[in-house]
Structures are given as C-alpha cells and as structure tokens.
Structure 1
Amino acid sequence: MAKSISKNAIFKAMLNLFNIILPIIVMPLVSRAFGGELYGYIGYGDSLTAYFLIFASFGIYQYGLREISKVRDDKKKLGQTFTSLFVFTVFTNTVATVAYMVFVAIAYKDQPYLFTCIILGFNIVTNMFYVEWVNEAVENYDFIALKTMLIRVIYSALILFFIREKGDFLFYLYIVVGFNFINNIISFIYIKRRVKFDFSDLQFLKHIKPMFYVVILTSTGILYTQLDKTMLKDSVGGIAEVGYYYMAQRVTTIVSTLLLTVVQVTMPRLSNYLGNQSKDAYLVLLKKVVKIYFLFLFPAAIGLSCLSKEAIYIFGGKDFLAAVPVMSIFAIHMLVTGVESVVANQIIYIFGKEKQDAILVLIGGVMNLIFNITLTLTGTFNMVTAISTTLLANLIILILEYRLVKKVIKLDINLFAFENIKYFFYSLLFIPITIASRFFIQNVFISCTFNVVVCGGIYLGILLFTRDELFFEVMNKLLVKLKIKSA
C-alpha cells in the first residue's frame, strides 16, 4: 500500500529543517576557525570531487529513482533492477576514483591544496555504497530522516568539541569523509535487508543509454556554478573569492533543500503514476505540488535576498561579509533554479525526455562559459558578475525547458498562471520593509529577527485575508498529521 505523501513530506521536512539548524551552529565555527583561504581549499576540493562524482554516480540518483519507482511493487523485478544498477555503479565509481587520484597527483603536486583534494577524493570511493535512491523510490523517508539526523548530531558534536583553529583543518576533513562513509554504509546495510541481490537477469546495456543522458545533463551542469568557482580560483581575487562564493552557495543550498521537500518526496509517486499509465493522477498531483512549492519558494527567495547581510553574518561571521553581494544574487538564482528543477525533474525527466533536456542545458552552459570568458577578457570577471551571468544562463534554460514542456510533451499545465505566481507579488513587499528597517536597527541579529517576524506576519496576513485555499488545505493536513484538531 502506498505511503502517505504528507507523512513522507513531514519526515523529509524534519530532515531538511535539521540540515538547516545544524549548519547554522557548525558553519560559523568552521569558517571562523579556518579563515577564507582554507575555506576556499574546501570549496575548490568539493568542486573538483563534484566533477568526478558526476561520472562515478553515472546518473544513478535520478535514473535509479525513476526505474525503481516503476517496479517497486514487483519483488522480483525490484531485486533484478537494483542488482544491475548497483553492480554497474560499483564499476563506474572504481574507475572514477582511480582517474581522480591520478589527475590530482599530476595536476596539483605543487599546490598547497593537494592533500585537501586527496582526502576529499575518498568521497568518491564511499559513493559506491550510496543507495538512498532506492530508499526514496520505495518511500522509506522515515528511515532516511532518523538515520541521517542521528549521524549529523554526532558529526556536529565532534566539530563543536574539536574544531578550534587552523591546525584542526585535516581532522575536520577526516570527519567529513568518515561520516559520509558511515551515512552511506548504514543505508546500504538497511536496504540490503529488504531488497535482495538477484543476479538472474543482469542487464547493463539497456540502462547505459538513458543513464548517459543524465551524465550529460549533470556534466554540463559544471558549466554553471562549478565553472564559476574554477575560474574564480585563477582570477584577481583568487582562492579567497572561491571561499566567499562557496559560502553564499552553501547558505542558499541549505534553504533550497528545505523548500524542495515537497518536490523530492513526490517524485517516486509521480514516476509510479506514469509507469502505470495513470496520467490523470500524475497531472493532479503535479499541479498541487507546484502550487505548494511556489507558496514557500517565492517568500523564501525574496526574503533571503533582502537579508543577505544578516544571513552571511550568521553563517560566516564578519570575515565573510564580502560575500553579501553574491548572497543577494544567489537568492534570486535559487528562485530560478527552483522553478527549473520542477520543470526538469518532475516533468521532462519523468516523461523520458532527458536527451532533449541535455541539449538545452548544454546550450545554457556554453552561453555561461562565453559570458565568463567575455567578462575575463574585459577585466570585469569577479564573484558578483560570475553568479550574475550564471543566473542569466539558468533563466534561459528555464525558458527553453518550459517551451519543451508546452510544445513537445504537450502537458496541460500553466506554471506561470496568476494562481501560482501571486505569491511572488506578495513577497515583493519584503523589499521596502527590510530597506526601511535598516535605518533604525543596526544590530544584525535584531534586524534579522525583526524582519523575519514582520515580513512573515505580513505574508501570513495576506494569505488569511485573501482566504488562500491552498494555504488552508496545507495547514489543515499538517494539523491532522500532528493530531491537532483545527477550530
């Protein structure tokens, strides 16, 4: 029997909220202990491993989630599909690990961040045990949430107790890699007890082509923010600007992850509906998901952009205030990529149009590369202009993908109907409020608290005054799940 989507969403939201609270506690400590340069090493090392993880994972999260969702009700097919995909990714992870270590040893042998890259490279090794795509496909969100929260508490406690100065840098890297392995191996053991290996019908060729398109999609993604960080390393600001850029990116990623809760938990169900020829049920659920997502996305993005200084100060401290302009643009970038994630993942990919989407993403990536090169040649390339052109490239991608949905897939959905984007217009009120508040509130924490309360109150007031049906529906379901009867 299918699990409750609202229950899944609550567990996922708990995890994502947990992933926001812990970084608020941990990130300032780490950034202040290491400073901009060492933090830049981490940012660059993460970017480099991300390149190789694209080929190591070989699209397993997106593709595995879709394929397992289709066969999860057939125990035999479930075991066969899982076995084929797991064996294949063990091979791709092994090849990617060897390639990464050889590349780092040759390309960065004289660089101060060599050892950082080597240690972080072990994340590629542990990636072969990453099977969260199976847990999500069968909707084990309760296990994922509880397991991850427990691991993160221990991880954060170690950092709080032992990370104090630059001399603790390597120990921090060991903690990061070690707990990543623990998280993956526990999930692997858990899923192996429920989904047995079945080698009776190993198939690789049927999976390679669609997975390869996902690799293309993901690898062209490096032509966006990953490209920015790579080029910033060789710019005037150097590795320090990578650190500032990385800080702003991490903050928006944390917020974005929480907002994507409803999108993430419904992907298995949407894929299952289409796999069982239930297009009407798919469309009804998709339209509801879009409205719920926009209800929270627009105020969060506009609010974060308005409170960029406060967000950076809270997460990074005064040493990272140079990242404020980047943070402001990154928040708007989060808005665009948030809408784009719905179009790409919940429509285009589920309909099996990843080949066409790969071409569109490549077009946008090449445009971003051209933008960055132009800025470099004119001497205007920096962290602010870098994220600005990336935002522009992602906006172009969104337009092209939406055209694909309307012209090729021909899906009866209007993402930008007023009933969906009205929340954007409501959120614009945050701009004059936050600007005005800065004239009489100087303290960062008081300013942040005041603006969140006032803007949140005004947004809530508008929803109540207009008797927004979606808002009341979400609140009623939440109250029921929490065993509280609404009046």
Structure 2
Amino acid sequence: MNMILTTSSFIFPLITVPYVSRVIGPDGMGAISWAQTFVSYFSLVAVLGINTYGIREVAKVRNDREKLSVVTQELITILIISTTIAYAAFLVTIFTLPKAREDKPLMLIFSISIWMTSCGINWFYQGIEQYGYITTRNILVKLIGLILIFIFVHQSSDYYIYALILVLGLVGSNLFNLIQLHKYVHFDIKHKLNLRRHFKPLINFSISSISAGMYVQLDMLFLGFFGTNKAMGLYQLVTKIRTIGYSAVNSVGSVMLPRLSYYASRENSHDKTSQLVAKNLNFLFIVGLLFIASITICAKPIILILGGEQYLGASVALIISSISILLSSANTILTQYMIACGQEHRYATINVISLIGGIILCFIFIPAFSIAGAALSGVCIEILTLLLNSFFLRDFLREIMKYLDFIRVFIAFAISFTISSLFAYRLIGMNPFFQLLINTTIFIIPYMILLLIFKESFIYYSIKPILSRFTKNT
C-alpha cells in the first residue's frame, strides 16, 4: 500500500510541478519554499517528536482498545499544549525577524500548518498499520488539490492562492484523520490521564526529532538567508525531485517502525528483526542507485520536463543532491531500528551532532557555491549522520552483513551506468521526455539482468516464485 502511495507521489508532482513552476516562476516558488521551510521549524517544535514516539507507543498497545484510547488521548493533549506555545512563538518571530516580515501574508497562510501538522495524528494510523486508509486518504486529497490548482492558479501573482491550496491539502488530510479516529479509540473523560509518564522518553524524541528535522532542511534555510528568491526557486525544484526519489526508495523502509516495534516487544524475534532490516537495506541500495544513475545521466531532461529552461541553472545541484536519496534512506532505516529497540538516546545524540555539523557545513559551502553549495552541504550532512549511525550500530551491522548484497549491487550498477552513459551522449538534442525514457530503460534492463545473474537476494527471491509458476505452466 505504501508503494501505491509512493506511485501517487510520482504522478501528482509530474502533473503539478511542471505547471506551477512555469506559471509562478522561480521568484514566486522561492518565496513559497522559504515560508514553508521557516514555518516547518515551528511545526517541529510543536510536535515534540510524537510523530515517531507515537508510532512506537501505539504499536505496542494496538490490540488493547482501552490502553490505545488512553495513550492517544494523552499524546493529543500534550500536542495541543505544545502547539499553542509554538504558535505564540511564531507570531512573535514574524513581527520581529526582518526576513520573516518580508511577506507576512504568506507566513500567516503557512502558519495554519503548525496546527494541522501537530493535530494530524498520522502517527496513530501508522502505529496500527492502517496503510490502506492512509493511501486512500492521501490520493483523494491530492486529487482535490490538483483540481484546485488548475482552476485557480493561472499567473505568477497567484502564488498566495497556490500556498493556500497546499495548506488546505494538509487540513483536509488531517480532518479525515480526526473523523476516522472514533472507530479505533473512545474518548472517555473518566480516564485519568497520566501525561507525566511520557515526558522522560519524549525528551530524547523531542531533541532528536527537532534536530533531525532542522538538519534535513538546513540547506533550504541558509540558502534563504544567503541567497535570493530566484536561487530558492531553483533549489526548491531540486528538493522536490529529491523528495520524490527519497519517497520511492524509502517506500518499503518507511513502514518498518510499527513492525520493528512489535517484534521488539516480543521475545525470540531478533532474527526476524535482523532479516527485516537487511531486506530493506538491500531494497533501498538497489533502488537508490537506480535513482542516482537516472538523475546523473538525465539531470537536464528532468529539469526541462518539470520546470522548463528557466530552471536549468539547478542541473549541477540536482546531480550532487541525488546522492542524498540513498544516504537519507539508509539513515531512516537505521534510525527506525534504534527507535524500535529503545535506543532513542543514541538517536538524539546523533541528530544533535549532525545538526551542529550541518550548520558549520552550510556556513562554509552556501555563501561560496550558492545552490550547488546547498546541495553539497546536504550530502555531507547525510554522510556524517550515516557514519554516526554505523558507529553506534556497528555490532548489529556486523550481524546482518551476511544478509547484505551491496557488492553485487554496486558491480551491476557500475556496469549498467557505464553502458547508459555511453548512449546518453548520442541522445542529446532529442525531446527531453524521450531522453529520460530511453536512458532510464537502457540503464534498468542490464541492471536487472545483472542482478538476476549475480543472484542478488532481494531481486532473485522476489522473482523466483514468478519464474517457478511460469515454468510449471509451460
């Protein structure tokens, strides 16, 4: 179901991004991206790490309606309090910080998302593994948003309307969440809520969640301070493409936390945990390298399709940033393992170090290299995080090494990338869409064949049942 949701994440941006990027232009898109990034920092503080902590706690008690109801009420109460404080701080900031005062209406529009992000309770539905509902809801809301964009956004001055549609999409998703909640929990005021029991574990989750959310968006934040709206507009297209790639690569890994938490709460489930993590690492390595190859070879065609010629200045930044797709996905899986095993203190330590390192990197690279520097700082931050994750989980990684097929995958990637690169030069000047289609096909075919020849475990055991059935039928 999450892969279906990911597919929709491909289709809708492929329709909306080319249209909106051309209509609103780099300057308008840059202003929107800056406002979104700035407001998202207050949302991070408001949520207090409950987006992750809530998944784990809900997963533990998902089979007990009474306990599930109590936990949900307690976490929602904490969120209401924290969001009120965060929103008050936001209002003070936009009237005192010069950069934030430049476009107050846009800031106020996006500030609605502070409440919607906090009260959206996505963590609840992920915790009980209701991925069918999550997928249906998201596709429906995206479809409504798509229709509204084509009806109301027609010129560059409509960027306020576009911002409002983005926020309304979030409002709609979260309203569905709240309406559906009564099916799974009951709100009984007779229950005595014990908010204090969540404070201690939430300290680590808050530190880790806030610092992780901050370091992931440091490139956008500092580019907004050091660069222009046009630079932000070019780079926001890079981040959109990167986000699409990350969502695809992490489509399997992102649903791991509830199942890992469930295994962690059961005895004699360590082997299942190890195999699950290893299987997902193999999957993300295969798909991550595919995206890196496609973006590296077809950076200009991709930008021409999604943004147009006015965004071609982002080509180098896009190629650099593509590496983050693989790195950030690997970090997500290792992080989920830590959280499921109750190692949130390590998670917090890693994210704080990464945040500090990221700030230093942004100060070094962005003023010197603009959007290419923003992309480079983002990659370096992910490398730093991966090194820290690998250090803290070194014993576990040694244990699952026997399940990993990284060497086979990389050899297949290197050969396929070389073949595809040789053909790419002959396609220059062709229609961008056909360039992308042909180059990607030329990479994928030898890539998949080589993975099968090398008997890479994920691909081989995924296709083996299909081949067995086909052989029997013939």
Same fold (TM over 0.5): yes
Unaligned runs of 5+ in 2: none
Amino acid at match of 1:448: L
* 2:379 aligned residue: 391
- The answer to whether structure 1 residue 425 and structure 2 residue 411 are counterparts is yes
1:56 offset after TM fit, Å?
1.1
What is the CA deviation profile of residues 373-431 of structure 1, one whole-angstrom value per residue up to 9, with x for unaligned ones?
Answer: 3346xx62411123213312321221121111125xx5653459761342233222344
1:57 offset after TM fit, Å?
1.0
* 2:440 aligned residue: 452
Superposition pairs of residues 170-319 of structure 1, within 5 angstroms: 170-199=160-189, 200-221=191-212, 224-235=215-226, 237-277=227-267, 278-319=269-310
Amino acid at match of 2:326: L
The question of whether the paired residues in 1 share the 8 Å contact of 2:48 and 2:205 is answered with yes
The question of whether the paired residues in 2 share the 8 Å contact of 1:310 and 1:445 is answered with yes
Q: Distance in 1 between matches of 2:351 and 2:223?
A: 22
Q: Distance in 2 between matches of 1:403 and 1:226?
A: 24
* 1:356 aligned residue: 346
Superposition pairs of residues 363-374 of structure 1, within 5 angstroms: 363-374=353-364
1:144 offset after TM fit, Å?
1.0
Q: Distance in 2 between matches of 1:202 and 1:243?
A: 46
Q: Distance in 1 between matches of 2:58 and 2:92?
A: 34
Q: CA RMSD in A?
A: 2.5
Q: Distance in 1 between matches of 2:273 and 2:303?
A: 39
* 1:6 aligned residue: none
Q: Distance in 2 between matches of 1:424 and 1:282?
A: 25
Amino acid at match of 1:465: I
What is the CA deviation profile of residues 326-365 of structure 1, one whole-angstrom value per residue up to 9, with x for unaligned ones?
Answer: 11011101111111111112x2111122222222222222
What is the CA deviation profile of residues 116-166 of structure 1, one whole-angstrom value per residue up to 9, with x for unaligned ones?
Answer: 111011111222431121111111111111121112111101212331111
Quickly say closer, same or farther: Cα 1:297–1:439, change in 2 above 3 A.
Answer: closer
Q: Distance in 2 between matches of 1:243 and 1:170?
A: 15
* 1:160 aligned residue: 150
The question of whether the paired residues in 2 share the 8 Å contact of 1:66 and 1:271 is answered with yes
The question of whether the paired residues in 2 share the 8 Å contact of 1:364 and 1:396 is answered with yes
Q: Distance in 1 between matches of 2:216 and 2:311?
A: 19
1:20 offset after TM fit, Å?
1.0
What is the CA deviation profile of residues 220-244 of structure 1, one whole-angstrom value per residue up to 9, with x for unaligned ones?
Answer: 2355342222222233x42211222
The question of whether the paired residues in 1 share the 8 Å contact of 2:299 and 2:318 is answered with yes
Superposition pairs of residues 52-63 of structure 1, within 5 angstroms: 52-63=42-53
Q: Distance in 2 between matches of 1:451 and 1:375?
A: 32
The question of whether the paired residues in 1 share the 8 Å contact of 2:208 and 2:348 is answered with yes
1:108 offset after TM fit, Å?
4.3
* 1:7 aligned residue: none
- Secondary structure of 2:217's counterpart equals helix
The question of whether the paired residues in 1 share the 8 Å contact of 2:94 and 2:101 is answered with no
The TM-score normalised by the length of structure 2 is: 0.92
Quickly say closer, same or farther: Cα 1:240–1:486, change in 2 above 3 A.
Answer: farther
Unaligned runs of 5+ in 1: 1-10
Amino acid at match of 1:355: H
Quickly say closer, same or farther: Cα 1:65–1:20, change in 2 above 3 A.
Answer: same
The TM-score normalised by the length of structure 1 is: 0.89
Quickly say closer, same or farther: Cα 1:264–1:368, change in 2 above 3 A.
Answer: closer
The question of whether the paired residues in 2 share the 8 Å contact of 1:367 and 1:393 is answered with yes
Superposition pairs of residues 45-124 of structure 1, within 5 angstroms: 45-108=35-98, 111-124=101-114
What is the CA deviation profile of residues 256-301 of structure 1, one whole-angstrom value per residue up to 9, with x for unaligned ones?
Answer: 1122121122321111110123323322322223223323222223
1:477 offset after TM fit, Å?
7.0
The question of whether the paired residues in 2 share the 8 Å contact of 1:305 and 1:332 is answered with no
- Secondary structure of 2:302's counterpart equals helix
Q: Distance in 1 between matches of 2:169 and 2:354?
A: 35
Q: Distance in 1 between matches of 2:285 and 2:365?
A: 33
- Secondary structure of 1:106's counterpart equals coil
Q: Distance in 1 between matches of 2:343 and 2:286?
A: 27
1:167 offset after TM fit, Å?
2.6
* 2:399 aligned residue: 413
Aligned with 1:333 (options 313, 324, 329): 324
1:90 offset after TM fit, Å?
1.4
1:101 offset after TM fit, Å?
2.1
The question of whether the paired residues in 2 share the 8 Å contact of 1:214 and 1:354 is answered with yes
1:169 offset after TM fit, Å?
1.7
Corresponding residue pairs, total: 468
Structure 1 vs Structure 2: percent identity of aligned residues? Answer: 23
